[in-house]
């Protein structure tokens, strides 16, 4: 399923200077599709890298089906 063709690329914000790590896998997050804002405690809250975002989004759909464990199909 690839129909990226007709869509314009989403705007990405460069956050490499902010030293944000993915809350899931700990990898450096270099860019985000949104501008992160600090919370009251001075953190950016939970930020996920692209891969984890995609995984999480994917597992939303299938929640209830084997859920926990993060196995791949």
CA angle 43, 26, 31 (to 5 degrees): 70
Q: Which of 18, 21, 22, 59 binds Zn ion (CB under 5 A)?
A: 22
Widest distance between CA atoms in the chain: 41
Comparing CB distances to Zn ion, the nearer of 27 and 38 is: 27
CA distance linking residue 10 with residue 40, whole number of Å: 28
Indicate whether 23 belongs to the interface with Zn ion (CB under 5 A). Answer: no
Closer residue to Zn ion in complex, CB, 40/60: 60
- Give the one residue of 20, 32, 47, 52 binding Zn ion; rule: CB under 5 A: 52
């Amino acid at each position: 399923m690839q129909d990226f063709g007709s869509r314009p690329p989403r705007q990405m914000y460069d956050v490499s200077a902010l030293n944000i790590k993915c809350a899931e896998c700990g990898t450096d997050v270099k860019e985000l599709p949104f501008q992160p804002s600090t919370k009251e405690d001075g953190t950016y809250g939970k930020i996920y890298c692209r891969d984890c975002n995609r995984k999480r989004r994917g597992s939303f759909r299938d929640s209830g089906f084997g859920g926990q464990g993060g196995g791949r199909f």
